[in-house]
Amino acid sequence: MVDFVAKAALDVAIAEIKNAPKDDVAIDMLCFRPGFGERQFPHEINLTRAGGITGERWLKTPWMKLPDGSPDPAIQVSILGRRVHDAVRPDPQKSLHPGDTIIADLDCSDANMPAGTLLKVGTAVLRVSGVFNTACVKWKARYGAAAFDWVNTPEYRPLRLRGLLCSIYKDGVISQSDIILKQGIADVELS
């Protein structure tokens, strides 16, 4: 049985989360999800604008689609700040990894990473989307109602505790321990 972290303990973590590095950080962990509930932790992943993460379920079963029914590229890659990850999942042996593509010690706040921010990661470039990650019912089941409510607390919303959702702006390869570097802002998606 999983012991969920109480909201009071999560609230205490906010000060540390706010002090996360703003840029130039190494990837701590890579993950991709070939199917529902499945996790793989490769040393590197291949990203393409057309196909997302090679082997990931986004292309076939995305949770968000465009009006034509195709997968929405705004959710191709997710980045979760390591300090949030560690706060909600203090014992990784007792709970499933959240499934975010990248875990990194990064300030994911709207002030630091507004929509349109370009991130060079390995040979790829990601673009922070305007889609706010509110977490899902699986987050609530895995980490508890307090963790779900915490990431959606109005006063914490600008911190984007549940992390960033990104589109792939430039194809490339991302490897474990690659550095994430901000590259400015792109106001529009490439078509």
pLDDT tens digit sequence for 31-64: 988 888 888 999 999 999 999 999 998 888 888 8
Number of Cβ atoms within 10 Å of the Cβ of 27: 22
What's residue 58's pLDDT? 85
Query: Which of 159-177 are b and which e, b meaning 16 or more Cβ less than 10 Å from the residue's Cβ?
Result: bbbbbbbbbbbbebebebe
User: Binning pLDDT at 50, 70 and 90, where does residue 135 land?
Assistant: confident
42 beta partners? none
Pairing of strands 102-104, 164-170: unpaired
Q: Would the pLDDT of 123 be above 60?
A: yes
Largest CA distance in the chain: 47
Integer angstrom CA distances of residue 61 from 33, 98, 123, 124, 132: 11, 17, 26, 23, 19
Task: Dump pLDDT digits (tens) for 103-114.
Answer: 999 999 999 999
Ordered structural domains, the chain, with CATH: 7-185 (2.40.33.20)
Tell me: pLDDT of 189 over 70.
Answer: no
pLDDT tens digits, 83-105: 999 999 888 787 888 889 999 99
Look-up of token digits 């999560």: 10
What is the reported pTM? 0.93
The per-residue pLDDT of the chain, averaged, comes to 92
129-144: average pLDDT: 86
